[in-house]
Amino acid sequence: MKSGVLNLVLKRLGIAVITLLIVMFAVFFATSMLPGDTASILLGQAATPEAVAGLREAMHLNDPAILRFLLWLVGLLHGDLGTSYANEMPVATLIGGRLVNTMKLAGITTLLSVPLALTLGITAAMLRGSVYDRTVTILSIGVISVPEFMVATLAVLLFAVYLKWLPALSSVNEAHSLTDLVRIYAMPVITLTFVISAQMIRMTRAAVIETLSTPYVEMALLKGASRSRMVLRHALPNALGPIVNAVALSLSYLVGGVIIVETIFNYPGIAKLMVDAVATRDLPLIQSCAMIFCLGYLFLITAADIVAILSNPRLR
Amino acid sequence: MSNLVEVRNLRIEAKTDSGRLVEIIKGVSLDIADGEIVALIGESGSGKTTVALSLMGYARPGCRITGGEINVSGRNMAALSEKERARLRGTDIAYVPQSAAASFNPSSTVMEQVIEVTRIHKLMPPERARQRAVELFRALSLPDPEGIGARYPHQVSGGQLQRLSAAMALIGDPKLVIFDEPTTALDVTTQIDVLKAFKSVMRAGGVAGVYVSHDLAVVAQIADRIVVLKGGEVQETGTTAAILSAAQHPYTRELLAAFEPKPRQAHADADAGTKQLLRIDNVTAGYGAVRADGLPLIRAVDSVSLVVEKGRNLGVIGESGCGKSTLARVIAGIHPAAAGDIVFDGKELQRAARKRSQDQLREMQIVFQYADTALNPAKPVEDIISRPLAFYHRLDRQARSKRVDELLDMVRLPRTLRYRHPSELSGGQKQRVNFARALAAAPKLIICDEITSALDTVVASAVIELLKELQRELGLSYIFISHDLSVVEAICDEIMVMYNGERVEQITPDKVTAPTHPYSKLLFSSVPKLDPTWLDGLVRDPELVSQYGHR
Amino acid sequence: RATNAVAAEPVSGGNFKAAGWSSSTADTLDPAKASLSTDYVRCCSLYNRLTFLDKDGVTQMELAESFDSKDAKTWTVKLRKGVTFHDGKDLTAEDVVFSLKRHLDPAVGSKVAKIAAQMTSFKAVDKSTVEITLADPNADLPTILALHHFMIVADGTTDFSKGNGTGAFVLQTFDPGVRSVVTKNKNYWKSGKPYLDSFEFIAISDDSARVNALLSGDINFAAAINPRAMKLIGGQQGFELSKTTSGNYTDLNIRLDMDPGSKADFVAGMKYLVNREQIVKSALRGLGEIGNDQPVSPANIFHNADVKPKAFDPDKAKFHFQKAGLLGQSIPVIASDAATSSIDMAMIIQAAGAEIGMKLDVQRVPSDGYWDNYWLKAPIHFGNINPRPTPDILFSLLYASNAPWNESQYKSEKFDKLLIEARGSLDQAKRKEIYGQMQAMVSEEAGTIIPAYISNVDALSSKVKGLEANPLGGMMGYAMAEYLWLEA
Amino acid sequence: MTIARATTSRRSFLGHSYSLVGVVAALVILAWTLVAILAPYVIPHSIGDIVDDDYFGPMRQGLWLGSDYLGRDMLSRVLMGARYTVGISLAAVSIACFSGVVLGMIAAVTGGWLDTCLSRFLDAMNSIPSKLFGLVVVAAVGSSIPVLILTLAVIYIPGAYRFARALAVNINTMDFITVARVRGESTVYLIGSEILPNIIRPVLADFGLRFVFIVLLLSGLSFLGLGLQPPLADWGALVRENIGGLPFAAPAVIVPSLAIASLTISVNLLIDNLPQKIRDRDA
Ligand SMILES: Nc1ncnc2c1ncn2[C@@H]1O[C@H](COP(=O)(O)OP(=O)(O)OP(=O)(O)O)[C@@H](O)[C@H]1O
Ligand SMILES: Nc1ncnc2c1ncn2[C@@H]1O[C@H](COP(=O)(O)OP(=O)(O)OP(=O)(O)O)[C@@H](O)[C@H]1O
Ligand SMILES: [Mg+2]
Ligand SMILES: [Mg+2]
Ligand code: NI
């Protein structure tokens, strides 16, 4: 059994590496499809043909793009993410702190939203068709149907501008104490929780409802199990597969999708970095960011797949 | 109040999806005294499971207890709050479900589920509960009583699961145990051990029981009294001896009469130019990793050869887990053989069904053992049965509808059932829908895997009659897998005995009294008799039991 | 309500936090590469220029003590003495020569390479004198060198991440695309300045977030706020607005060398179709001045007030379109968020067109890559031009026949001649006259429609003092850090 | 199961049973669809016309929903916005879910290489940032409403695929699928008639959520220059361009938000309370 799981994990890791390569190439291809290159974009309005040609020469952009891509891949094998075209800093330096920030935000949001969403999803499933269930449905759909930037802006207006309880900006460098930390992260985390919870709530609800009608849950009832025991001990473990998939898909949003939250709260994370990189056609930076997103995504779905398999002894 | 259980005028209604109410239990009353075992017998679909469940104050989804009282040790289960009911379930009243396989949570170990009752009601420390469970496993003659608890449900055979669910019910020392067809998946040799265990446990603890079964011989061994149900009404109640020897009600008599199936008449054209329909040679198949020689690690079927002649039937019997279903799947091409040849109707068949032609697929139909999982839960019965009609025979809508009615009639199902989903059927009803679907294909050979295990004697013998009739009219052949020897005897021209994946003997029905192989001897001597004293008086050859009993 | 803080007694101290509107990983401390307001603000706090433009648009000396030339071709620049870089090195002529010469190297990627190209030779005459020779006479050189890109850096600098300049602040933190913090330069050569202990600059690209951050007290200063937020801030205690009308404009360019711009009547019709008043009123919410299709704004001393804006006249427009035979055809107009307010302007023009049966197909294209892919290229597109200190720069960059950014492909020999004549002349009155004539020419003949000069509004906490408007743009021409102080 | 029983009262009509909530939700959707169809004939002002000197004007006679940031009539813009939000989103989500679910079921039924390749390919697609993807689409094929719909669909196919496949894989191991297989049924029948009916509920729930996501992403793509061109605007874009009115509680930002919420909530409630065909016909 144990070695079976190990084998499975190794196999999945191998497949993940291949997926990563596909993504890297797709991103490369996409980037080279975009009109304009780093030189002309950096020069912006000042991009005269001569100036662009000169800068291209100086930045070694005249080498074929595919060659630069391959060189970057080779560098990657040595743990070198390359140097940004746009500002000549090592990509690792540019990404470093921001990646940590992104992870922090994602981590805190996960800690808050996953338990919340699962609780709401499970309770809604238990009380299916009740007023409570409907309220949860309406609220969760209502909350995601409000655009993210509006939720964030409303939160700022309310908590920062009118009530002055929280700062409007999440300046991570000003966190010196736990209270600071709470104050800084409160609004971004709440906004993101709003955004990602609905999917988890709905999918948890759907999955638990499916398992609640199985004979073994009925059997648990006939053993005198309480409602919570039936759900937590019998229904939930068997609904875990779809639930962890939904959780993984929702959380993957936290890696690359938080651009709006980063913008509004001025939170220096990696999503904005990627947008900047695309805007400047900064291939090494785009590739590195894309790789991080992809790794995050692959990590999550692989973890989800493995949890799903582990939770079902039949698949082990 | 003198009796442990007093049910008065119980009414249970089911609500169909149009909101129409159907009364499925129409005023049932019954009593069970302390320590008494009452058997519920009767027609499949008569409401046995429903009545049994109502004793726990429970009605299946879509059903509702609408009237009457269900007093269990003085409390009306129907009127209690859900919380109070939960307190009684598992401790005062325990339930052994009809389909044990589906009633185990696939994601937790068997032991956890067996001792769960003690956790829920805080009856004893888990350590103590585990010890007790192991004692019960041993009493129920489960193999490896110490280790079996650590397995997951899918690692345990169907017959074993049935016994494990009995252990699950008994661990809370209930005052009343409800057994819903607890031995349907057991071969007769195992059944004996289990029945003995039930009897001793119940007798020792003074436990009362409700025993739902279609098997009159089994009921005869275990029950003190018998309640006969039909169409949601009690037909007759009486002590076991009285019912068996002097039944009053015509339906009961019918049931009893049907218990002794008419033995198969020698085939009219038995000798007239028999032709081979199916021949398999040295087929080997199994599960697990494939070894270097191309054979699987675990061999469930080991070099089995057999022949089925046109218009003749082959019975396959043997212990639970001996490879009967696997053999059926191999022939049908669902589980391609690792070695061996299959010749059907003169032509060599591909091992995998995928590669066989549509006609070949149609001509050989298989009826799966577990009707629960073989029916698509999302489709109504009529869609399920009419699909082969549309697929193989391209019948139009009207013709299909007509044929569905005919098929339902053939398997003794009311026509109104056609609109229901499988979840709204009783165990035996599902089994018959499953069979009707195979008939719809109009095949030459039907592989029947336990198609009567959930049927009462009347319906079962009707189905057997149907099989014979079809055979006469259309020259069909059957491979008949069953644990029920009398049914096999009734229909089969040849009987193959399997043991541990191998074919140990092939005999003809008229010779069942004199099998040559020792395992066959043990098997045939274990068939229960309608005589209530049979079990207590049974003496088996201890050597045989130790050699072929449960490992 | 656009209050300018009246000079009170400045106080020293305080940490100042300001937010601009854009930032990116391409943020740089290399003045030659500076391209966004963020870069300008940072460079202004770290470096000095030889000259700068004061609030009235008059060129003042900064690191230079004097600019002298007899023929406007060879210029002698005397440098201020006693100026040191942050690393302690003295400012010398070599530094100036290095700083200016860099722009000619294509590898540097200077934004002003084209303008710098007229400087053909540099000579460090002595430690504090530099001689600059131009290809052709240009009286505006002192003003040209007031551009933000011509900041003076230390000789031989290749790594600009230290921000080593002579400016009022010393770099503490710089995180491209995120923020920068600079602290007071104790040895600053302008005595008493700066007042602030530290100056932090971030960018909040979301308009309302920027305003909200100011209102919640997270920052002291929000640059370039949306005009629609004025109502909000104006109604609040403790906040003020500062309005600057500089020469910034968003223009609609119709290329004269392509269809449909090659039909003169189409261009004429479009000029009548643009409802300038409505653009100022609705798109800019009053924060702008009506323009008359030429680039020299009223803030500039050379502005010709006699060139009147064309009145909105759909009938005349219809007449011209009919004459051009284009009425009823669908004409694509490219707009993008990259060019401020261009989408709103396009919609206003489109709506006016719809009234007279002129179908304008407004195409919103991504701001990403806009300048590269559409600007100057599409037959009809929007541009956005930042303020430039002199008409010469504007005309030679945008309208001369060989101008690199000739937005409408306007070609006029007469115009080119006038441009060179004015450039070489040291006679202010004559230049004003020539520039006036040129303004009239482009207004009438070029394919560029400049409906309005866009004002910039910065919002700030009332505690911030010392802010004055500057023709080079908001935030006192991006140089505010040095001049502001925080009321105790 | 007592604990998972719908308690809604249902009414029947034309061989189907309906719940009240479902009917109300369907009516809301129907109303918006009608608005979408009729909008051009009923809007009081042209959506590009500036009719108010003020901006973020309040609700008042003539401008029933106030004015937007440019002073245009909000009522007209919201009514016209329904066309794009309802039409484009529904088209896109249908394409996305249809292709995703069909591919997912095919992968689950077929298994083997096809499954692996398809899964990896779609995983890879899912990890390409949608902004990059959008830009590439604009650059490669330009911008039009069909392109916008396809882009939205392509962005959401991998998610729908993953979810449907996860569900279908479980069903695929059931005996009744084996029964159909040995009957010789085609893949099309297997996925359409045997698997789909068993996963339809979660698939529809997923459809509802994806619909919400697409409604929101729609405006994001418009801002990338993909699809809707000014002065046309979908509801998300209306919220976005008028977000500056939020501190003033301007109807210009609140009304389109409510419109989005009413539509998306209705779609999801309808999915939870779909009319059910009544099988029982022997009443
Ligand atoms: N939800 C439902 N709607 C309508 N009828 C139902 C529903 N559930 C069960 N029934 C019917 O109720 C009757 C009693 O079912 P029950 O399961 O109690 O039968 P049973 O006696 O246990 O039969 P078997 O021996 O076949 O298991 C059957 O005829 C069945 O078709
Ligand atoms: N999927 C599987 N993987 C591994 N072993 C299996 C699998 N299915 C069946 N087996 C094993 O193969 C053997 C034969 O199983 P099979 O189902 O053919 O038994 P059977 O004779 O039909 O028993 P029963 O009478 O209980 O239905 C058993 O020992 C069983 O444990
Ligand atoms: Mg039953
Ligand atoms: Mg079997
Ligand atoms: Ni039986």
The burial class, CB within 10 Å (0-12 / 13-18 / 19+), for A4 is exposed
Higher pLDDT, B247 or C318: C318
Alpha carbon distance, N-terminus to C-terminus of chain D? 25
Predicted pLDDT at B130: 92
The sign of the torsion formed by the CA atoms of B196, B197, B200, B205 equals negative
Which residue lies with its CA nearest to atom 29 of ligand 2? B321
Query: Do B87 and A312 make contact, defined as CB atoms within 8 angstroms?
Result: no
The tokens describing D4, both together, are: 């998972």
**DSSP states of B488-544:** HHHH-SEEEEEETTEEEEEE-GGGTTS--SHHHHHHHHT---S-TTHHHH----HHH
**What was the pLDDT predicted at C1?**
37
- Cα of B505 to ligand 2 centre, how many Å? 20
Query: Closest to D246 (Cβ–Cβ): which among A154, A199, A274?
Result: A154
Residue with tokens 């396809």: D150
Q: Which residues pair with C457 in a beta bridge?
A: C243
Q: Which ligand sits nearest to residue B25's alpha carbon?
A: 1
Domain ranges of chain A: 91-311
Asked if A156 reaches chain D (Cβ–Cβ under 8 Å), the answer is: no
DSSP class of residue C407 equals T
- Tell me the C-alpha distance between C459 and A43, whole Å: 30
Q: Report the pLDDT value the prediction gives residue B529, as an integer from 0 to 100.
A: 80
Give the mean model confidence (pLDDT) for residues D235-240: 90
Residue C318's nearest CA partner among C309, C332, C328 is C328
Statement: residue B266 has pLDDT above 60: no
Residue D124 contacts A where some CB pair is shorter than 8 Å: yes
Mutate: best of D224, D241, D242, partner C, most C CBs <10 A:
D224
Give the integer Cα–Cα distance in Å for A108 and A113: 9
What integer is the mean pLDDT of A218-245?
87
| pLDDT digits 0-9 by tens, A161-213 | 888 888 888 876 777 788 888 888 989 999 999 889 988 998 888 888 888 88
- Residue C149 near residue C111, CB atoms below 8 Å: yes
- Whether the CB of B78 sits within 6 Å of ligand 1: no
Q: What domains can be seen in chain D, in order of their start residue? A: 14-277 (1.10.3720.10)
DSSP-derived letter for residue B227 is E
DSSP summary character for residue B209: E
Q: Tell me, what's the pLDDT at D104? A: 93
Quick one: pLDDT at residue B385?
93
- Per DSSP, the residues of B387-408 read HHHHHHH---HHHHHHHHHHHH
Between β-strands C64-69 and C59-61, what pairing exists: parallel, antiparallel or unpaired?
Answer: unpaired
Q: Count H helices, E strands: chain B? A: 22, 20
Chain A neighbours, 3+ Cβ pairs < 8 A:
B, C, D
Distance, CA of D99 to CA of A215 (rounded, Å): 33
Instruction: Return the CA Rg of chain C.
Output: 23
Of A86, A169, A265, which is closest to C26 when you measure between CB atoms? A86
**Touch between chain C and chain D (3+ CB pairs, < 8 Å)?**
yes
Please, what CATH class does the domain formed by A91-311 belong to?
mainly alpha
Tell if the CB–CB gap between A51 and C106 is shorter than 8 Å.
yes
Determine the pLDDT at residue B340: 87
Q: Whole-angstrom Cα distance, residue B279 to residue B276?
A: 7
Give the pairing type, strands B276-290 and C448-449. unpaired
For ligand 4, a single-atom ion, the residues with CB < 5 A are B 325, 369
C-alpha dihedral sign at B481, B485, B488, B493: positive
Nearest chain C CA: its distance from A289 CA (Å): 13
pLDDT for the residue numbered B549: 60
C438 within 8 A of C230, measured Cβ to Cβ:
no
Dihedrals phi, psi of B42, to nearest 5 degrees: 150, 180
Q: What is the pLDDT of residue D128?
A: 80
Residue B521, judged by CB atoms within 10 A of its CB (0-12, 13-18, 19+), counts as middle
CA distance A134 to chain B (A): 21
Determine contact: D165 vs chain A, CB below 8 A.
no
State the ipTM, two decimals. 0.84
The model's confidence at residue D1, banded by pLDDT at 50, 70 and 90, is very low
Domain definitions of chain B by residue range: 42-47+85-259, 270-376+442-529
Q: Which residues of chain C have pLDDT under 50?
A: 1-5
Place domain B270-376+442-529 in its CATH homologous superfamily.
P-loop containing nucleotide triphosphate hydrolases (3.40.50.300)
Q: Are B434 and B368 in contact (CB under 8 A)?
A: yes
Check A222 against B107: CB less than 8 A apart.
Answer: no
Nearest-CB residue to C281 (from D53, D135, D243): D53
pLDDT of B4: 85
Q: String of b and e for A95-133 (b: at least 16 CB within 10 Å)?
A: bebbbebbebbbebbbebbbeebbebbbbbbbbbbeeeb
Q: What is the pLDDT of residues B408-464, one digit of tens each?
A: 998 889 988 888 888 888 888 998 999 999 999 888 899 998 888 888 888 888 888
- What's the pLDDT band for D10 if we cut at 50, 70, 90? low
Confidence (pLDDT) at B274? 66
Mean pLDDT of the residues in chain B: 85
The one-letter code for the residue type at B493 is D
Separation of alpha carbons C356 and B411, rounded Å: 80
CA atoms of B166 and B169, how far apart (whole Å): 5
How far is CA D146 from each of CA A83, A188, D98, D226, rounded to the nearest angstrom? 39, 35, 17, 10
Q: Which residues contact B62 (CB under 8 A, 6 or more apart)?
A: B14, B15, B16, B424
Pocket test for ligand 1, best of B11, B24, B213, B413 (most atoms within 8 A of CB): B24
Percent of chain D with pLDDT over 70: 94
What tokens appear for B209 in the block?
Answer: 């029981």
Write out pLDDT tens, residues D23-58.
999 999 999 999 999 988 988 888 888 888 888 888
pLDDT, chain A, mean: 83
Protein fold of B42-47+85-259? Rossmann fold (3.40.50)
Of D174, D182, D280, the CB nearest to B373: D174
Helix/strand/coil for D67: strand
Looking at chain B, which residue has its C-alpha nearest residue A223? B90
Pocket probe for ligand 1: among B50, B212, B235, B423, the residue whose CB has the most ligand atoms within 8 Å is B50
Q: According to the model, what pLDDT value does residue C3 have? A: 46
CA distance C171 to C163: 6
A119-148 residues touching D, CB cutoff 8 A: 125-126, 128-130, 134, 137-138, 141-142, 144-148
**How far, in Å, is the centroid of ligand 2 from the Cα of B157?**
7
Mean pLDDT in residue range B160-188: 86
Please check whether residue C449 is in contact with residue C254, taking contact to mean a CB–CB distance below 8 angstroms.
Answer: yes
